[in-house]
Amino acid sequence: MQQGYLITGTDTNAGKTWATLALMQAFKRQGKTVVGMKPVASGCRIEGGKLKNEDALLLQAHASISVDYELINPYAYERPISPHLAGKDNPVDLALLKSRFLQLQALADIVLVEGAGGWYAPINAREDISDLALAFGLPVILAVAVKLGCINHAKLTAQAIASKGLRFAGWIAVCNDPDMVCAEDNVSTIQSALDAPLLGVIPYQPSADLNALHRFINLDAL
């Protein structure tokens, strides 16, 4: 059965890419074909004459099958600013993104869609990541950056997901602050507060093995 999830974050640099890679690897270990999608990305660089995003390239490299970059990342913007500003001359068209998503869905069992920024990060003058999730009709997995303020950020984002009528499928704690005090207690507090299962805790890693992130994920709750 083909399915997919949208991975959003409590903020920019919350750990969405690590969470998405971990999920891709975990699903592959279940014998499923998996592809990742980064519909919109800012802060891209020229590679082979085209703008490409580092996170999208990682998703491409970890897919079960070979997929053209343009399918994975239809909108690649050079300036490292919000997509609605970076893309003023080439604004995001949700209909085009939905078409590319459906193409990916036809190729694999699981499509994991990584958002940009947080849940309400604008992707054009009118729409944001939450609208993209609604257009794709995907359940949502939240990457929570375990840092000061994470409890509030996690609870607010969970409420915002519910307000869209989308299923909050689970969340992943990403420990990206080496100086965070009481990190485990914060994760426990969030776990008690959210009405969605904790799918894993990715510990702080100054130099992560991006090929072995699956070991921190438990898909049983999905």
Of 178, 180, 169, 179, which Cα lies nearest the Cα of 143? 169
**Which residues in the chain show pLDDT less than 70?**
1-2
pLDDT of residue 2: 61
CATH code, 145: 3.40.50.300
- In order of 1, 45, 138, 193, the CA distances from 189 in angstroms are 34, 39, 26, 6
pLDDT of residue 207: 82
pLDDT in tens, 42-98: 999 999 999 999 999 999 999 999 999 999 999 999 999 999 999 999 999 999 999
Which two tokens mark 124? 């054009």
Structurally, the chain folds into a number of domains equal to 1
Residues carrying an active site annotation? 38
In the chain, the amino acid numbered 192 is S
pTM of the predicted model, to two decimals?
0.96
Q: Which residues contact 27 (CB under 8 A, 6 or more apart)?
A: 34, 109, 110, 112, 219
pLDDT of residue 199: 98
pLDDT of residue 143: 98
CA distance 194 to 137: 21
Give me the domain span that covers residue 64.
3-221
